[in-house]
């Protein structure tokens, strides 16, 4: 026997949040309902799901606005890091994303080092443009100056 359930969150190989699917009684009763992954199809469930989706949408809009604001602050900031260097401009050491995040923090811009896209540590003097991924839809370009101490 099968029954109709409304998915309350994404379930692999079954459907997305909000989908109404037909599943076996035992699967619904023993797995989907206890894990709160689904609920019986009725008006109350649909209202609950609509409320949950609207709350999530508002939260995502707030995150997007915050990311855009931070992107503007990052674009206007210039990060200068002083390091000891050899005669040919090679650094004694290297500059990583943690060093860049710390230099930005000193300027009042809070940024997680994992958001800075850096393929490998910077090992020479110069000006570098780095991509910072703040949100799925928001990227910022950070200008990093590495100067000799």
Residues 12 and 81 in one domain: no
Is there a contact between 5 and 37 (Cβ–Cβ < 8 Å)?
Answer: no
Provide the pLDDT for residue 122: 92
102-125 as b/e: b if 16+ CB within 10 A: ebbeeeebebeeebbebeeebeeb
Looking at the structure, do residues 91 and 119 belong to the same domain, yes or no? yes
Average pLDDT, the chain: 90
Q: Domain of 18?
A: 2-60
47 & 73 share domain = no
pLDDT for 42: 87
* Residue 134 belongs to domain with CATH number: 3.10.430.100
- Residue scoring higher pLDDT (149 or 33): 33
35-50 tens-digit pLDDT:
999 989 888 888 888 8
Residue at a domain's end among 30, 60, 90:
60
Residue 48 is part of a domain; what is its CATH number?
3.40.5.10
Element (H, E) at 145: strand 139-148
35 and 83 share a domain? no
Q: How confident is the model at residue 78 (pLDDT cuts 50, 70, 90)?
A: confident
Same domain, 35 and 94: no
pLDDT tens for each residue of 86-118: 888 899 999 999 999 999 988 888 889 999 999
Pairing of strands 122-124, 20-24: unpaired
């Amino acid at each position: 026997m099968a029954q109709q359930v409304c998915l309350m969150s994404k379930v692999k190989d079954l459907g997305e949040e909000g989908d109404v699917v037909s599943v076996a009684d035992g699967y619904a009763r023993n797995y989907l309902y206890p894990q709160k992954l689904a609920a019986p199809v009725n008006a109350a469930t649909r209202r609950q799901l609509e409320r949950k989706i609207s709350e999530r949408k508002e939260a995502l809009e707030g995150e997007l606005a915050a990311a855009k604001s931070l992107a503007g602050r990052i674009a206007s900031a210039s990060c200068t890091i002083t390091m000891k260097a050899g005669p040919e401009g090679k650094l004694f050491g290297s500059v990583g994303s943690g060093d860049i995040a710390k230099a930005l923090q000193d300027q009042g811009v809070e940024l997680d080092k994992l958001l800075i896209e850096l393929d490998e540590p910077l090992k020479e003097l110069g000006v570098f443009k780095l991509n910072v991924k703040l949100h799925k839809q928001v990227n910022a370009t950070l200008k990093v100056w590495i100067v000799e101490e």
